[in-house]
Amino acid sequence: MNILEEIALRTKERIEEQKKKNPLSVIPTVTSVDFPFERVLKSNDISFICEVKKASPSKGVISENFDYVKIARGYESAGASAISVLTEPYRFKGHDSHLREIADTVKIPLLRKDFTVDEYMIYEAKILGASAVLLICAILDSATLKKYIEISHNIGLSALVETHDEEEVRTALDVGARIIGVNNRNLKTFEVDITLSERLRKLVPSDVIFVSESGIKTREDVQRLREIGADAVLIGETLMRGGKLESLR
């Protein structure tokens, strides 16, 4: 079992427990059809999604003094378009409360970064204050992916559909993804290759938002992605280790 499969399995177990403890008494409905996450990524220049995370499977603990609200405020002040908040507790040391507290503090849209394996998590994301959820092609079959995208859109959430190869990009397009992310990090081997975004960008139509994720460390990296027409970059570890958003623009 690779790391991705392990996290997905543990997430299923975690969500089954949460469903028992906190069953959804009210299913969230649409409060806005404005889809702010998508709107901010459609700017003329490349947009920055800045990530709040304490740890990762490949690097362990990244931030010992993890003041997630302060970090989120700093991103907003620096001009981030959106913020990605890790809520996965085992490998990333995240928590649902991080998302809720950040949502109560900042005004820019939030992506719930977790391993969505149950529609409960989509409704939960809405309740916690997210504007978007992450759906990973590698852990969802195409029928489930399509269903989860439809649920997300029906309650006013955007869905960032994460891919890692040509087949997954085609699957994402076939099921109606409006935002496609390419993770430059292989979640099975953790190798990073930013040229993956350059290769897969060609498969994504211009009317679908394209996000490059992981391994983006320098202004030169951002410029390369700008030149291929990426709409946004998702940057986590570089910023969590003290990098400045201003230095990447």
171-193 pLDDT tens trace: 999 999 999 999 998 877 778 99
Count the residues in the chain: 249
Residue 158 has pLDDT above 80, yes or no: yes
In a domain, 6, yes or no: no
Establish if 56 belongs to a structural domain. Answer: yes
Q: Any catalytic annotation for residue 44? A: no
* Interatomic CA distance for residues 6 and 67, integer angstroms: 28
Residue 199 lies in a domain: yes
Respond yes or no: is residue 214 known to be catalytic. yes
Cα–Cα distances in Å, from 2 out to 25, 114, 117?
35, 17, 16
**CB-based contacts of 32: which residues, under 8 Å, 6+ apart?**
156
247, with CB counted inside 10 A (0-12, 13-18, 19+), is exposed
- Residue 62 or residue 201, greater confidence: 201
Domain residues for the domain of 225 are 34-244
Is 134 in contact with 114 (CB distance < 8 Å)? yes
168 is annotated as an active-site residue: no
Residue 160 has pLDDT above 70, yes or no: yes
3 domain-assigned:
no
Q: Judge whether residue 90 has pLDDT over 80.
A: yes
Q: Does residue 99 lie in a domain region?
A: yes
- 47: helix, coil or strand? strand
Contacts of 183 (CB under 8 A, 6+ apart): 162, 163, 164, 213, 214
- Which tens digit of pLDDT belongs to each residue from 18-51? 999 988 877 787 666 789 999 999 987 999 999 9
The CATH number that applies at residue 131 is 3.20.20.70
User: Which residue out of 81, 152, 212, 214 is catalytically annotated?
Assistant: 214
Going by the DSSP 8-state scheme, the letter that residue 185 receives in this structure is B
**Average pLDDT in the 61-74 region?**
92
User: Among the options 54, 76, 84, 113, which is catalytic?
Assistant: 113
Does the annotation count 53 as an active-site position? yes
- Among the listed residues 38, 76, 88, 213, the single catalytic one is 213
Query: One of 47, 53, 126, 152 is an active-site residue; which one?
Result: 53
Task: For the chain, give the mean pLDDT.
Answer: 93
The Cα diameter of the chain in Å comes to 49
Q: What percentage of the chain has pLDDT greater than the value 70?
A: 99
What distances in angstroms separate CA 137 from CA 59, 90, 117, 163, one per listed residue?
Answer: 23, 21, 11, 6
User: Active site residue: 51, 124, 168, 237, which one?
Assistant: 51
Is 194 inside a domain boundary? Answer: yes
Tell me: pLDDT of 124 over 80: yes
- Report helix, strand and coil shares of the chain as percent, to nearest 5: 40, 20, 40
pTM: predicted TM-score of the whole model, two decimal places: 0.95
CB < 8 Å & 24+ apart, contacts of 26-32: 27/123, 28/123, 28/126, 28/127, 28/155, 29/155, 30/154, 30/155, 30/156, 31/156, 32/156
pLDDT at res. 51: 97
- Residue 231 placed within a domain: yes
CA-wise closest residue to 246 among 66, 62, 74: 74
Selection from 191, 97, 91, 177 nearest residue 137 by Cα: 177
For residue 15, is it within any domain? no
Q: How many domains does the chain have?
A: 1
pLDDT class of 132 with cuts at 50, 70, 90 = very high
In the residue annotation, 213 being an active-site residue is answered as yes
